[in-house]
Chain A
Amino acid sequence: MDLATGEFLGFLNLSWQAVAMLVIGGVLMWLGIAKKVEPVLLVPIGFGCMLANIPLGGAAEAGGFLAVLREAGIHTEIFPLLIFIGIGAMIDFEPFLQRPYTIFLGAAAQFGIFGTFFLAYLLGDGWLHVLDFSLKDAASIGIIGSADGPTSIYVATILQSKYTAAIVVAAYSYMAMVPIIQPPIIKAMCSKEERALKMPSVAGTISQRTKILFPIITVLVVGLVAPKATPLIGCLMFGNLLRACGVVERLSLAAQNELANIVTILLGITVGGMMSGTEFLRPETILVFMLGIVAFSLNTVAGVLLGKLMSVLSGRKINPMIGACGISAFPMSSRVVQKLGLEANPYNHLLMHAAGANVAGQIASVVAGGVMLMLVPMFI
């Protein structure tokens, strides 16, 4: 019998790209399991990466189960939208509704998206032509700065970027790195006196009626002004309405737990399945990751700068550090600011103020994604 062993033995078909990706998949799983870095995402992503790069396995090739999931969940944008229903049901907007001015901190902290987009486009087709970054690719890379995995997937998929896999992995892994990226920037921008600044507590609670009306009004305002953001903000606020209305607790709990968990498993393993060596291992991928750090840093700088301005205008009643929470990495950046506040002054509890800016950033990042989808096709 003439056995063509190369056709059925996987290890005979191992390329250096496949080996490198198997190592990367292993590192992602190690980070999640041993270092507890975003394990909910990195474990499925790492495993999916491993499956996709086993030669002759066919998991990520046409007809393979990862390719089917990619087609059904990512290309149709269903997974990120379903995740947003779960996120909306998990978020309590009360800290933001008690401090509505924080919405501007959320807005300012989206500068990282646009600044990074501009930089990526200059490196690519816009000026230097050293990298293969089109206007759509640059916009998709910029959206890493939304610090929001589902928004990144949604925008990069609609804009059909060549770097969707790298963008999604960067968006999720940098969210876990917020406690490493933000503190040095905040410390460099805020003096110890500023970090020690206590903020007055907010009296009173938000009425049930306001909590119910908030998601409905947000969808109407955002949808009518920036319609491209409607699916994202709609799913986020639908989840929040389930939570706030108080009459569908079963649905709210299902959105927070079963729905969010099932879609996270499917999304994670599918994103991992997108990391095939031939597509992932190119110089542009490294640049995408570097630009991701630029995006998170610019977000932090812009948020803190507006925080400083608001601090001065309010007569030092606002700690400028909470501007850094305008980035929507919830609740990581709130915890960072709380920790820095306590380091500067053991009685300085900023967590709820920071959480207000943080959930405002969540809304702002979705709006930014919609705005990007609206503007980019206009300028092509």
Chain B
Amino acid sequence: MLNALWIVLLGMAIIFAVLGILLLVMILLSKLLKPREKQEKKG
């Protein structure tokens, strides 16, 4: 039973961690891309 509890806790923690990292990467990417896209529009 303790094994199952560990799977529940670890499982939810990993899901939030993976998706949190994905969110951070996407935010970082949008910050990096925005200036370049603005420049492209000006050009």
Residues of B near A121 (CB, < 8 A) are: 1, 4
B1 touches A221 (CB 8 A): no
Q: Which secondary structure characterizes the binding site on chain B?
A: helix
Asked if A110 contacts B15 (CB within 8 A), the reply is yes
Contacts A209-B33, A218-B22: A126 and B1 contacting too (C-beta < 8 A)?
A: yes
Report the minimal beta-carbon distance from A223 to chain B, rounded to whole angstroms.
10
Do A100 and B15 have beta carbons less than 8 Å apart?
A: no
A374 and B13 CA atoms in complex are apart in Å by 13
Contact A122 B4 (CB under 8 A): yes
Q: State whether B1 touches A106 (Cβ < 8 A).
A: no
Interface string of A202-226 (1 = CB under 8 A from B): 0000010110011001100110011
User: How many A-B pairs fall under 8 Å by CB?
Assistant: 101
Within 8 A of A (CB), among B4-42: 4-8, 10-12, 14-23, 25-27, 29-30, 33, 37
Chain A residues in the interface with B (C-beta under 8 A): 97, 100-101, 103-104, 106-107, 110-111, 113-115, 117-118, 121-122, 126-127, 135, 138-139, 207, 209-210, 213-214, 217-218, 221-222, 225-226, 360, 363-364, 367-368, 371-372, 374-376, 379
9 cross-chain pairs, A with B, having the tightest CB-CB distances, nearest first: A379-B3, A114-B8, A121-B4, A126-B1, A103-B19, A221-B22, A225-B18, A375-B7, A107-B19
Q: What are 7 A-B pairs with beta-carbon distances under 8 A?
A: A103-B19, A107-B15, A111-B12, A117-B8, A118-B7, A210-B29, A367-B14
